[in-house]
Structure 1
């Protein structure tokens, strides 16, 4: 599949923005943009210190650094060398490393192989092998519906004359290792899309999408699942109530351990809005292959054997020099993956990208190899090994640690990088698509901030760029750890800090 028109237009827009970014970053050979008002570093620092030390934020551990990208001058810092939990700010590291190592035009290939012969009657002897290489977007993200890519592969088989598969479907996920999750991810998180298991053969973000609407009071909520498949079973034990009383169990989902038998339970208010929850599957490669088999059958290609077979060990992969390539899906370029990770904070895509980095640069699709490749890049950037501790690509693990100073060093480097415009363009902007959509509206920072958010329990972070209209580009990182406050309270403090900086260096 090619890139959507929207993605192509986005890429063109980023190319058009590059000259403007170059000027902000102060590349060698360009004239620096002078401040129209003299910056008051001391005044900004006093205001930020007062904010971080005021109640109720005074018990929070704050780390921050703000640097003028062009000159390298540090405008403010607080615990800048201190290792802190960054949450999703960790995604900045893997996306930068991947753009550097793989380039924005890198594409994933998902292949269909056969080891048997195609007989004149349209029967394919042997098995049909669905071979994954880590594509995060075998889904409806860039095409019309979650199974559209599988339908296109089925059409390719039909064009070759395939009418029946004598064997079964083999899901080959051996391009990566068989380790699906990190041991320190929270058990409850593993039920949901944001901690879905990682596989070289992934489908629909390795999740089932449940759309929930209230029913009549006293009756179950109206819950539909997509894509429909025999891969999972679903029981609806929910209840629609006039209101969800304090202490009552609100709607939730669970699975029988180790299975894809899923149950919805708890109360849904009769006046609740329609919403969609994405529930993670067990064994994503089998999920992909099962839905693919169901798609083949819906398209008129019969498959003799069921259920599917999953291969995880590369030594047991049925793909060899005698295998025939029948069809192949080629993904949108890596630029689209980077956008999904930074703009929408897609955790699974960050983990798939980290393992891709390991496979392409270290020859092994594992977290260990991906982390080693990421560290290679960070050392070249100037970030010492003791400035970061890496557990995953997404920031979901609380074992990830990074200093605010290291994040700012990375941000400064990327604005001068050949792919800096793409990296910059992947960051959320106030009022735009992504995690800053509802922040900074009607504030002096509304047209200045391009930054990645981060949230875990007791952790909030914000790192990126400030592009004051009348000043130089600033790189910043602000991280809050060890707070016992509501996340919204700490987000308000982060936003207030950013507005303080913009006012101080815009002269407004």
Structure 2
């Protein structure tokens, strides 16, 4: 598998488009732009913009929040506005800019994940005499939610086995998850979040974002609502304990995990009549077992019998049955851009966390959060030139409220993204105002003029990217709001008005 070596650290002038610029991919020493002395501040160059933004942030719905903002002209690098820009803020999903740029730096655009089927014994007379090992290396695209028929990868692997003459497995399916670490969720993720797709367990082997799609629709008043789910697998068991109540009654329905070895889900609470369907994505307890069971079911649908129904999960690489086993079939994922796109466009947490572990494995030989974060920090400080004090990192998605990044760090990173050819996949995957991704319904009065990453967790809203101004300039910004004490819709509206102010203020 190919990966890039560290690129040279570009000076600030080169990052923001000035004449001094090293050739793309050039190696060697480039002099750094001098950093400000501790405690020094850079004067903002646009009093008119400052007046507009300050007026917005003084609105009653916005003034109680803690704001961190930096705005720079992409062409000149001039600072146009700054408020708390050197202070670390909780970034929410703006953090995904870090893992995607790190991956774009280290991994070739043609990088693909490989999932392998191994046999632990010989194939004789159509029988695999041993176990069938499903060995994952972190492919996050084995999913029905990103194109292709349900279980398409599993079906294709089963077809490959049949093409080799395999009609029965004397042993069983082993789900080998040992390519990554055994820590599947971060200790500081909120326990309630662990129920849902955005905090699903992160391992080397998974399926369908490691979550189950559950749909709840009202039934007759006093009766159970209609509950359906996908995939239909013996790994998933859903208990319907909810009640349909009268029109206009409070909606209290929720999902909870039922203790047990597999994905037990209980639907409870009240569903008002005529309230429409509610679709939720509930995280499974074990991504590897989920993958193994759904793969075994695909084998059976294809006419390949499996002797042992129980799927065995292996998490210890020293005990991996793939060692010395025979390769029977392989699946190669789509290339890296297909992985980065849903992380930035749709803010897909699970894929972001998987990519972070992938970077750790490829660069440092360890598929862990710690290794991935170490690679991130090295790239951001050595290559992009961000001060290490501007970064406190706990995960790849921004779900942890212990992550901290300064607005100035985001602006410097975005300048690097705009100036560096290898970052094209990041530029092309950003949400676009009024057109694509999580900005499709925002800033529709500036269609196509804003490309930025959105972010939200409780009490935090963020937006970092660039905007084309009314007079044709490109301006880079990072807007982070913490301790908002208001509904997210109000904070987002304020953030969008700040972007409109940036777009409308002419150069001075």
- TM-score by length of structure 2 reads 0.89
Structure 1 residues 101-137: Cα deviation after superposition (integer angstroms, max 9, x where no partner): 11322110111111200002x0000000000000111
Q: Does 1:350 align with 2:352?
A: yes
Q: Distance in 1 between matches of 2:487 and 2:146?
A: 35
Counterpart in the other structure of 2:338: 336
Q: Which sections of structure 2, spanning at least 5 residues, go unmatched?
A: 1-13, 23-43
Task: Please say if residues 241 and 267 of structure 1, whose CA atoms lie closer than 8 Å, have aligned partners that are also in contact.
Answer: yes
Counterpart pick for 1:386 among 384, 389, 392: 389
Cα displacement (A) at 1:433: 2.8
Counterpart in the other structure of 1:485: 486
Q: Does 1:52 align with 2:53?
A: no
Counterpart in the other structure of 1:8: none
Counterpart in the other structure of 2:37: none
Task: Please say if residues 450 and 468 of structure 2, whose CA atoms lie closer than 8 Å, have aligned partners that are also in contact.
Answer: yes
Runs of 4+ in 1 over 4 A off after TM superposition: 24-30
Q: Does 1:289 align with 2:292?
A: yes
Q: Distance in 1 between matches of 2:121 and 2:275?
A: 54
Cα displacement (A) at 1:469: 5.8
Counterpart in the other structure of 2:27: none
Counterpart in the other structure of 1:19: none
Task: Please say if residues 469 and 505 of structure 2, whose CA atoms lie closer than 8 Å, have aligned partners that are also in contact.
Answer: no
Q: Which sections of structure 1, spanning at least 5 residues, go unmatched?
A: 1-21, 31-38
Counterpart pick for 2:416 among 409, 413, 421: 413
Structure 1 residues 430-476: Cα deviation after superposition (integer angstroms, max 9, x where no partner): 122311121112x2x33310111111111100001112364222111
Structure 1 residues 53-108: Cα deviation after superposition (integer angstroms, max 9, x where no partner): 23121111100001112211111111100000000000000000000011322110
Q: How many residues align?
A: 472
Q: Distance in 2 between matches of 1:230 and 1:338?
A: 32
Cα displacement (A) at 1:425: 1.3
Q: Distance in 2 between matches of 1:263 and 1:26?
A: 58
Structure 1 residues 154-208: Cα deviation after superposition (integer angstroms, max 9, x where no partner): 0000000000000000000110001010011111100000100101001000001
Task: Please say if residues 461 and 478 of structure 1, whose CA atoms lie closer than 8 Å, have aligned partners that are also in contact.
Answer: yes
Counterpart in the other structure of 1:230: 234
Q: Distance in 1 between matches of 2:145 and 2:506?
A: 40
Q: Distance in 2 between matches of 1:469 and 1:407?
A: 23
Q: Does 1:161 align with 2:165?
A: yes
| Residues 26, 303 of structure 1: alpha-carbon distance in 2 compared, 3 angstrom cutoff | farther
Q: Distance in 1 between matches of 2:225 and 2:435?
A: 33
Task: Please say if residues 470 and 504 of structure 2, whose CA atoms lie closer than 8 Å, have aligned partners that are also in contact.
Answer: no
Task: Please say if residues 138 and 146 of structure 1, whose CA atoms lie closer than 8 Å, have aligned partners that are also in contact.
Answer: no
Cα displacement (A) at 1:26: 6.5
SS in 2 for 1:303: strand
Counterpart in the other structure of 1:186: 190
Q: Distance in 1 between matches of 2:307 and 2:318?
A: 26
Counterpart pick for 1:395 among 387, 392, 398: 398
SS in 2 for 1:166: strand
Structure 1 residues 262-307: Cα deviation after superposition (integer angstroms, max 9, x where no partner): 1101122222222321100001100100010011011100000120
Cα displacement (A) at 1:506: 7.9
Counterpart in the other structure of 1:298: 301
Cα displacement (A) at 1:258: 5.6
Counterpart in the other structure of 1:93: 98
Q: Distance in 1 between matches of 2:127 and 2:487?
A: 61
| Residues 87, 258 of structure 1: alpha-carbon distance in 2 compared, 3 angstrom cutoff | farther
- TM-score by length of structure 1 reads 0.89
Correspondence 1:20-419 to 2 at 5 A: 41-120=46-125, 122-246=126-250, 250-257=252-259, 259=261, 260-320=263-323, 322-379=324-381, 380-419=383-422
Structure 1 residues 377-423: Cα deviation after superposition (integer angstroms, max 9, x where no partner): 00120012111100000000000000000000000001111223221
SS in 1 for 2:118: strand
| Residues 44, 181 of structure 1: alpha-carbon distance in 2 compared, 3 angstrom cutoff | same
Task: Please say if residues 139 and 145 of structure 1, whose CA atoms lie closer than 8 Å, have aligned partners that are also in contact.
Answer: no
Cα displacement (A) at 1:29: 8.2
Higher mean C-alpha displacement, 61-70 vs 249-258: 249-258
Cα displacement (A) at 1:144: 2.6
Task: Please say if residues 241 and 269 of structure 1, whose CA atoms lie closer than 8 Å, have aligned partners that are also in contact.
Answer: yes
RMSD over aligned Cα, in angstroms?
A: 2.0
Task: Please say if residues 435 and 447 of structure 2, whose CA atoms lie closer than 8 Å, have aligned partners that are also in contact.
Answer: no
Q: Distance in 1 between matches of 2:219 and 2:375?
A: 51
Task: Please say if residues 111 and 329 of structure 1, whose CA atoms lie closer than 8 Å, have aligned partners that are also in contact.
Answer: yes
Structure 1 residues 233-280: Cα deviation after superposition (integer angstroms, max 9, x where no partner): 11111222232524xx61110112464221101122222222321100
Task: Please say if residues 25 and 473 of structure 1, whose CA atoms lie closer than 8 Å, have aligned partners that are also in contact.
Answer: no
Cα displacement (A) at 1:28: 6.2
Counterpart in the other structure of 2:431: 428
Q: Distance in 2 between matches of 1:50 and 1:433?
A: 30
Q: Distance in 1 between matches of 2:453 and 2:395?
A: 17
